[in-house]
Amino acid sequence: MIRIYPGDLQPNTVFLPVRVDDRTTASHVAQMAASQLGIMLQNLTLVEQGPDNESIMEPDDLPMDRFLLWPSQAKSGKYTANKYKFTLRQFEKDALNPRQVLESKGFLPSADDTPQDLCNISSPSPSSLLRVLRKRFETSEIYTWAGPVLVSLNPYCQIPNLYGPRMQHLHRGRGLQSKAHVFAVADAAFETINKVVV
């Protein structure tokens, strides 16, 4: 259960409790809140507000992922100073953020929404890290680099052709420069040991 604050859209309501799970998207939460409040507006979205900042949630962002990152006092509902909260807002659908404007004019390369390395995320934040890991997980890419660190997700199933001689060969001699995989880490470790021993 999370609280949605409608603010200026419904001044008579302080907040609205909405039941969510780990797959409920921001657009779905906004629709549920609007329906319960009887608000008939287009382009509603959620905004996550913290003590020092706020961020507009993308339609496919997951509010529960962000809620779980909040301090325990903020989750309890008794936290009043510098409150973390989700607010309901109407936004212009065609509005582009500054990065999108620069990308559309060719000044910046298009952001990769599933980069091999989490350090390459254009706007790093806890939600963008979780979004990249979720998208990679959904395509059975369970390994991701975070600089020289390998991040591994439990796939909860067998992934065919993930291991074996062919995959070993693909990662041999490339170390941490290859695609994120446990064999890449093993190859880098083996090469480092060889350099120390020789």
pTM: 0.48
**Same domain for 143 and 173:** yes
Tens of pLDDT, residues 96-134: 566 666 665 566 656 667 888 998 887 788 888 898 999
- How many of the other CB atoms lie within 10 Å of CB of 67? 17
Asked whether residue 117 falls in the same domain as residue 67, the answer is no
CB 59 within 8 A of CB 25: yes
* Rounded-to-integer distance, Cα 142 and Cα 157, Å: 11
Q: How far apart are CA 159 and CA 45, in angstroms?
A: 36
Shared domain for 37 and 119, answered yes or no, is no
Would you say 121 and 115 are in contact if contact means Cβ atoms under 8 Å apart?
yes
The whole domain housing 78 covers: 2-95
Continuous segment of H or E residues that includes residue 87: strand 85-90
10-31 tens-digit pLDDT? 777 788 888 888 888 988 888 8
Task: Report, as an integer, the average pLDDT of 135-159.
Answer: 91
Are 24 and 73 within one domain?
yes
User: Quick one: average pLDDT of 71-81?
Assistant: 66
The whole-number pLDDT of residue 81 equals 47
Domains held by the chain: number: 2
